[in-house]
Structure 1
Amino acid sequence: MEHPEKELNREAKNLINQIAVVFRSAQFHSPSNVAVLSAAEKFISAINPFIESEGMIEIEVVGEFFHINETRVRYSVEFLLNFDYLMKEFKDRGLGTVRFKGIISPVDVQRLIRAFIGCLKADDRFDAMSELMQDSRNIDIERLRHVTEEGDSDIRKVVKKTYFNAVSFSKGIISKIKSGEKISMKRSKRVVESMVDMLLEEEQLLMGMTAIKDYDDYTYHHSVNVSILAIALGHKLALGKKAVTELGLVALFHDLGKMNVPPDVLNKPSSFTEQEWAIVKKHPFWGAKAALKLKGLDNTSIKAAVVAFEHHLNYNLKGYPVARFTKELDFYSRIVTICDQYDAMTSARVYSRTPLRPDKALSVMVDRSGNMLDPVLLKVFINMVGVYPIGTLVFLKSREMGLVHEANPLYGNRPRVLVIVNSQGKKVKGYVLDLSEKDQSGNFVRSIYKTLDPNKYNINLAEYLL
């Protein structure tokens, strides 16, 4: 028998999906079209039993997530595109809450559809939608609540503190292991749990922190970045909080073996010799041994050892260390491999001072799909970070220059961009543009012309993303 909480979450995800299907159908067909009527009927069948048991259903946008009756609805891989579509459409209209106060009828749904579609040409879409809904007895709507600048500043401070606490902890891990001390798995878990909690509330801000690369402390930042990316990917895959925390933990420990690589080799500013490369290739084995020596050996420690050993084996098992078994990579290893390669390619390392642009890194990873990288997980990863990941420097056709500020999972090539140079070539404090915005003719207002190298223009990402 299914646990009541799981059943409730399943029904909530289905409800979000059904209302998205209704609105998507209505954007392509008239409200009286059979496809729209069929979608509306399914939505009514899904929501009315919910209303009967709960008394009222309130769908609210909180940050980047939907909440139903103040409970966050987990993303579902099955319904990912519809979730992202609905989130975008709500935000485009300034719509924060839709409240169903009583059993709804086809007439109620038709009124909601007409208001949802009919407000698009208005200057203030929420006001127009609210006016079209004013005669509705069973459905109320509320405007999207925006965080104030002061509140936004406070949130950024908390995100920064969470991130740099994790980096500091990562440094401490290496120091303690080198001195022969045991690492507390409980403390490690608390650090990762803080990142999991932060990602659930402020995903884009925390993901933005991974775009800020610190050359001098690459090893420590890299471990934290891979952990954050793995947590985010696990969340998109609808893993439970316990599994996501475990995934983040093993990702944090994936490069433990690097501490056994001699510093003169690890920090060499030029390419490795054949002998040096042979030493570096031993770090997965050393990492597995180190993970098994963590204080409080348990299943998580064992999984950390597996991931440390496998994260360079590749999806086709033709990487390193040379594998003598034919089983497929562990699920966590396949996730960490993707996150590890992405962060490594987009970072300036000692032996690779020029990082790849994020979009170029994704292009390289696509070429590796099915060989080095799990093709299914890579698709979800690219959908998560977007065609132009956070931190990508872009030049718009409007001659404005900006940094990708927030991914758009529905339109991967149309993120939100923080403009830092206006069309006259002058530096500006920064204003955010949504590249999915359309004019009254249905054409996109702005588009990306090309990506640029921030190092070439002496642009410090930390100045804009911190």
Structure 2
Amino acid sequence: MNGANHSSGNIIRLLQSASANAALYESGHLQVVRLGNQLFEELSALLEACGELSLIVVENELIIDGRPQEYSLFINRFTALLKARGVEYLKFQKGITRQEVASLVEFLSGAAGEPGEIASTGHLRFGYLTVAAGGPPSDSKGGERCAAEVLKELSLKELDRFTEIYRAVQRRQKLKVSGIADVVSGFVDLFRQEGAPLLILAALRDSDEYTFTHSANVCILNLAQAMALGIEGQQLKDIGVAAMLHDIGKLFVPEEIINKNGKLTDEEFDLIRQHPVRGARYLMDIPGVPRMAAICAYEHHAKFNLAGYPKLPPSWRLNLCSHLTMVSDFFDATRTRRSYREPLELDQITTMMLDMSGTELHPVLTRNFFQMLSDLKTPS
């Protein structure tokens, strides 16, 4: 992973340098040609090894293959360059040609605000983070059909398998990661078939197994958010697995505390606050668990401004998956009936989450989340 990070960093440096030189000199200048050739060679080698490379801009943050990058001058400049050209999502795919690379360099070399366009090609994809206004068709019959079909797909056998996996963890046995990955892959496949993934929530609202329902709903919402950001492939599945396992630390907290109707004592709340650390430690010891899952389990209560728990240093940079999970987790927890309270209405949840935007929740991801919901028929 470190090698891939280093290679992608070189690609960013070369792309920025090639674009800057192309802005200064004519296209046939030796420096422009040299940098263009070097960029193509290194990018082709990286894609040959990894298959694809995705860049996403969220506010002033650059995310490479789902991983937020540490601040540096060159990353900051490159992010500003993409924003100036109106690019929020850029994906390179294996098989990219010299002409595609040259066209990208030429496009990025233009002055900010200068007219210029570039279209997606076979191995180079451009896009925006926000979901297009209007969203999918709002045919209520189609939505009901979709939910019914998904309900059939989400068989009792699958729910039983998930429940048995969690019960094994409670018995202090090793987690069967393959079972969790199979559930996530099933969700991803259904998304591709149905085209309106949030309607799957209708199929999960009535399950008697809260642990499964909440974990699955957070997984579904995370996958929907990630797909709206253009994240695909193994990174998408890892985000889903992380969501399914984000609360696994609660299995180490006594059930009577988790399900208590009244107010928790200070001692009981201290036990609750320990579940992110306990969950992360547990997942780190399980072979095959994506590293992102342990990070998400550790960070999902930290809050956007790091005022949550566990206590983190001010310089800490939260993982993108943790930000997605905070949004999904709060939304589903407030819309679900629990033993100690009734579910909240969607307008109440929306107001609360928008008020939390920029403090407890990531502001851009929260806005994108509700834009994604705006034209979907959300179950009441």
TM-score range, shorter chain: 0.5 to 0.7
Counterpart of 1:26 in structure 2 is none
User: Would the aligned equivalents of 1:226 and 1:343 in 2 still touch at CA under 8 Å?
Assistant: yes
Distance 2:170 2:327 in 1: 28
Distance 2:292 2:310 in 1: 17
> Which structure carries more strand by proportion?
1
* 2:224 aligned residue (232, 253, 257): 232
RMSD value, Cα: 3.7
How far residue 274 of structure 1 moved from its aligned partner, in angstroms, is: 2.2
TM-score by length of 1: 0.51
Counterpart of 1:383 in structure 2 is 371
Counterpart of 2:14 in structure 1 is none
Q: Does the C-alpha gap of structure 1 residues 173 and 325 become closer, same or farther in structure 2, counting only changes over 3 Å? A: farther
How far residue 189 of structure 1 moved from its aligned partner, in angstroms, is: 1.5
Q: Does the C-alpha gap of structure 1 residues 74 and 171 become closer, same or farther in structure 2, counting only changes over 3 Å? A: farther
Counterpart of 1:401 in structure 2 is none
Instruction: Name which one, 1 or 2, has greater alpha-carbon Rg.
Output: 1
Counterpart of 2:311 in structure 1 is 322
Distance 1:210 1:288 in 2: 30
How far residue 79 of structure 1 moved from its aligned partner, in angstroms, is: 7.0
Distance 1:316 1:165 in 2: 41
Which has the higher mean CA deviation after the structures are superposed, 236-245 or 248-257? 236-245
How far residue 271 of structure 1 moved from its aligned partner, in angstroms, is: 2.2
Counterpart of 1:437 in structure 2 is none
Q: How does 1:141-180 map to 2 (within 5 A)?
A: 152=145, 156-162=148-154, 166-180=158-172
TM-score by length of 2: 0.62
Deviation per residue, 1:63-88 (Å, 9 max, x gap): xxxxxxxxxx999435742xx55966
User: Would the aligned equivalents of 1:213 and 1:348 in 2 still touch at CA under 8 Å?
Assistant: no
Distance 2:357 2:376 in 1: 18
Deviation per residue, 1:364-402 (Å, 9 max, x gap): 00000000000011111111112776113xxxxxxxxxx
* 2:128 aligned residue (77, 86, 103): 77
Determine helix, strand or coil for the equivalent of 2:196.
helix
Percent sequence identity is 28
AA in 2 matched with 1:233:
Q
Q: Verify: 1:355 aligned to 2:347, yes or no.
A: no
Q: Does the C-alpha gap of structure 1 residues 87 and 249 become closer, same or farther in structure 2, counting only changes over 3 Å? A: closer
User: Would the aligned equivalents of 2:197 and 2:220 in 1 still touch at CA under 8 Å?
Assistant: no
Counterpart of 2:175 in structure 1 is 183
Q: How does 1:63-212 map to 2 (within 5 A)?
A: 76-78=127-129, 80-81=131-132, 84=133, 152=145, 156-162=148-154, 166-204=158-196, 207-209=199-201, 212=204
Q: How does 1:403-422 map to 2 (within 5 A)?
A: none
Distance 1:382 1:194 in 2: 25
* 2:328 aligned residue (319, 339, 351): 339
Q: Verify: 1:282 aligned to 2:274, yes or no.
A: yes
Distance 1:214 1:276 in 2: 29
Distance 2:259 2:277 in 1: 20
Deviation per residue, 1:102-137 (Å, 9 max, x gap): xxxxxxxxxxxxxxxxxxxxxxxxxxxxxxxxxxxx
Counterpart of 1:96 in structure 2 is none
Determine helix, strand or coil for the equivalent of 1:177.
helix
User: Would the aligned equivalents of 1:76 and 1:237 in 2 still touch at CA under 8 Å?
Assistant: no
> Which structure carries more helix by proportion?
2
Q: Does the C-alpha gap of structure 1 residues 164 and 391 become closer, same or farther in structure 2, counting only changes over 3 Å? A: farther
User: Would the aligned equivalents of 2:247 and 2:279 in 1 still touch at CA under 8 Å?
Assistant: yes
Structure 1 unaligned blocks of 5 or more: 12-38, 54-72, 93-145, 393-466
How far residue 348 of structure 1 moved from its aligned partner, in angstroms, is: 1.2
Q: Does the C-alpha gap of structure 1 residues 205 and 196 become closer, same or farther in structure 2, counting only changes over 3 Å? A: closer
Distance 1:183 1:80 in 2: 36
How far residue 277 of structure 1 moved from its aligned partner, in angstroms, is: 1.4
Structure 2 unaligned blocks of 5 or more: 1-39, 53-90, 97-114
**Number of residues of Structure 1 aligned to a counterpart in Structure 2:** 273
